[in-house]
Structure 1
Amino acid sequence: MGAHLALALLFAAFTAYSLVSRKLDASVLSGPMLFTALGYGFYHTDTSFLSALDKSVVEFLATSTLAIILFRDAANIRISSVMAERATAFLSIRLLFIGIPLTIIAGTALGMSLFPTLGIFGALVLAIVLTPTDAALAQPVFGNDGLPEIEREALDVESGLNDGLCLPLLLIALALAADTGSGEGMAGHATFFLKQVVFGPLVGLAIGYLGAAAAALAFAHGISNPAGRTPIMVGLAGLAYLGAELAGGNGFLAAFAAGLAFGWRLPAETVAKASNFAMTEGSILTNLTFFLFGAAMLPQALEATSMPALFYAGLSLTAIRIFPVFIAMLGTRTNARARLFVGWFGPRGLASVLYLILVVDQSGFDVAEAITNIAVFTILLSVILHGVSAPFAQKAFFPDRS
């Protein structure tokens, strides 16, 4: 298959998807599911087209996509309503600061028991890679007003912040696993983590607020035309990410914080109009990332699939996620169905793909391939299972609201 033919087929797939996207959103076939399968099919049809791609391309796509989605989702969170509804903020904090540590601990313990050769740090890396959730794999859930607002908003906030919180932990775990630390010990790692989680949001808040103020001024004085306003979210998301990285902070936390500031500073209708381009761009990049995931990462993982890997993947998507969520939600006014709903809809996607690239890039880490194969298989299961179940969330968890 020549490069031109391969690209023509890929663009044809995007065209076909756009024509039937509304039907697909209500079906059990999601965009990530279809494009993962398409990428896998491309690999088996002709690997020469994909041989020119290296992991830096996938890393760039995954990073850009995640930053744009985090900014866009955060911008559409109405801070005033979240603060007024304290239950949402309270639940989000519990999911982040109780649910995440418990999930990592449970995943590490399971990894050590099933894969002793990974060692404690290898099992820790695997657990962290599969901890962050991805709202892009469950969009029918987040757009369904028939589902409880508090739980949906909390899931959205969790998926926006857990990527940035887990990344510093992953980098520290990789340094410990490969014995490539700077020699500063735990104090140095703690300082690194604090810089990531403090500088990132501060840079993001500044860029998001100043960007929104500049946009309000330009809109009010007619300096920008309507067509020129739509890419502003993409530009600010990239600026926040790179600005934070240059300052020593976490780029994903910065993108989310920038989106919050942008959405807080501008009227809801202005944010909604600006979101259109970011939503389209995010959808294209998400599907393209999963296409490359299916073509470049999935074939090797499927060849190395084992029963322990299957067992780990199944538990990672269920017990290892759901039990910590149940514990984190103790003391809230949520019933068992709501807790199960929040626990189940923690799909693994873009952040985990990006983290895996960092794992592979880590020199001196001899269990990177084993971790990658297990995690890729888990992401594949998540793409399928969460994609299939998302359209039926209301009927399955809250039938009284149907």
Structure 2
Amino acid sequence: MVLLIGVLISERASRTILSTAVLFLLAGFVLGEGVLDVVPIASGDPIVGTLAELALFSVLFTDGMKVGWQDLRSAWRLPGRALLLGLPLTLLVTAVLAHYVAGLPWLESFLLGAVLAPTDPVFASAIVGRKEVPGKLRHLLNVESGVNDGLALPIVLVLLAVAGGTETEGWALAGEILLGIVVGVVVPLVVITLDRLPFLKAESKLQPLLTVSIGLLVLAICSATHANLFLGAFSAGITVASRGPEYRREFEQFGELVTELLKLAAILVFGALITPDFLFQEIPLLGWVFAVLAIVAARPAALLVSFIGANLPGKQRLAAMWFGPKGFASVVYGLLVLESGIVQADYVFHLVGLVIVLSILAHSSTDVVIARQFDDEDARQPTT
């Protein structure tokens, strides 16, 4: 029923402050244990981790296909600033806020900063999807969000290992990360090479399933070899986009629909975990102050520094600084922290959950309003 309502209002949502993401989040909250108890889900239930894992794998796979090497080479300066300078600065500012405002120890503060550093433009789809928004800004947000999930993941894994939250440490952890990248590169190369042999060729109507088979094969091999499946997914997406752009085009619509379905389902489940007690009793006042500052101060301050000397108009600069919505990567990384059992795991997860809730509400309700501020002259500016 929630999916049906979301689809029926999606066209209007694309033109107003309505948001399907907010709809699923609120539906999960109302249907969860804290209100109607229709969907009795707890954080330790297997379905939570499995659904979040599949959703993030799908997100990273499709995100990787948006940022092939050719895309990065065509206009890399602004995304490069946001990724190589903005991402570490966002992590650092968030960690400082977590330590001095929320009261977390330094290690857990940096872990929280790494969890909250990635962005997800799906919650600000009017910005990246509207033609009146300048192409330079859309390209910046698309590339940044497509890459920063994968860049933040190794940092989260290393910090979790240092905090004692994983059984894999040191060289074994590095091996899992490296093996995931290798699997993500080798599998697509082999499959694409096979498909291009003269005696092997996928039927045109089944061509999108070839890319699906690549994703499933990467998932299976990573699971069997204990390679990091998220980095495997991200590497596989980039490899497909770089080695066979035609596969990306054929997979695009089907892949986006599957990913969107998994993401909305994950939001629903995540909303069911957010109870009234979760928000108003288990998070102190300083936790709320931290959550607000993490949204309105951390990323804007980081990108303000990153864009010094950049060729980006002021209006677009402000939009990029504001639109850093927290999404599925942060949800899944937060669940990884919760399941790790480290000393501050519960408090860190509560702060992650609160920031994501506030981010979804704030960014999904302001994307259309800000998108309308750009006129046709801005939209015709080049993307390079």
TM range (shorter): 0.7 to 0.9
The reply on whether 1:20 has 2:6 as its aligned counterpart is no
The reply on whether 1:141 has 2:118 as its aligned counterpart is no
The reply on whether 1:289 has 2:266 as its aligned counterpart is yes
Looking at structure 2, the residues matched to 109 and 155 of structure 1 have their Cα atoms a distance apart, in angstroms, of 25
Determine the structure 1 residue equivalent to 2:327.
Answer: 349
- TM-score, reference length from structure 1: 0.83
Alignment of 1:118-267 (within 5 A): 118-178=104-164, 188=170, 191=171, 195=175, 198-215=178-195, 223-224=202-203, 226=205, 228-244=206-222, 250-267=228-245
Looking at structure 1, the residues matched to 99 and 3 of structure 2 have their Cα atoms a distance apart, in angstroms, of 41
Looking at structure 1, the residues matched to 68 and 336 of structure 2 have their Cα atoms a distance apart, in angstroms, of 33
Cα 1:222/1:371, change in 2 over 3 Å: closer
Gaps of 5+ in 2: 380-384
Gaps of 5+ in 1: 1-11
Cα 1:152/1:193, change in 2 over 3 Å: farther
Cα 1:327/1:374, change in 2 over 3 Å: same
User: Which residue identity is paired with 2:290?
Assistant: Y
Alignment of 1:367-386 (within 5 A): 367-386=344-363
Cα 1:318/1:194, change in 2 over 3 Å: farther
Looking at structure 2, the residues matched to 207 and 16 of structure 1 have their Cα atoms a distance apart, in angstroms, of 39
Cα 1:158/1:55, change in 2 over 3 Å: farther
The reply on whether 1:36 has 2:25 as its aligned counterpart is yes
Q: How far 1:209 sits from its partner (Å)?
A: 3.0
Which secondary structure does the structure 2 equivalent of 1:28 belong to?
coil
User: Which residue identity is paired with 1:361?
Assistant: E
Q: How far 1:53 sits from its partner (Å)?
A: 7.8
State the percentage of identical aligned residues. 26
Alignment of 1:73-152 (within 5 A): 73-77=63-67, 79-83=69-73, 85=74, 88-116=75-103, 118-152=104-138
Which secondary structure does the structure 1 equivalent of 2:137 belong to?
helix
Q: How far 1:210 sits from its partner (Å)?
A: 3.0
Determine the structure 1 residue equivalent to 2:382.
Answer: none
Aligned residues: 377
Q: How far 1:35 sits from its partner (Å)?
A: 0.5
* 1:207–1:236 CA contact under 8 A, matched in 2: yes
The reply on whether 1:330 has 2:317 as its aligned counterpart is no
User: Which residue identity is paired with 1:377?
Assistant: L
Looking at structure 1, the residues matched to 308 and 347 of structure 2 have their Cα atoms a distance apart, in angstroms, of 35
Looking at structure 2, the residues matched to 216 and 341 of structure 1 have their Cα atoms a distance apart, in angstroms, of 43
Cα 1:236/1:306, change in 2 over 3 Å: same
Residue from 324, 339, 343 that aligns with 1:361: 339
- TM-score, reference length from structure 2: 0.86
* 1:69–1:278 CA contact under 8 A, matched in 2: no
* 1:138–1:390 CA contact under 8 A, matched in 2: yes
Looking at structure 2, the residues matched to 138 and 350 of structure 1 have their Cα atoms a distance apart, in angstroms, of 13
Looking at structure 1, the residues matched to 176 and 300 of structure 2 have their Cα atoms a distance apart, in angstroms, of 28
Query: Per-residue displacement from partner, 1:264-289 (whole Å, max 9, x unpaired)?
Result: 33354x53332222111111111110
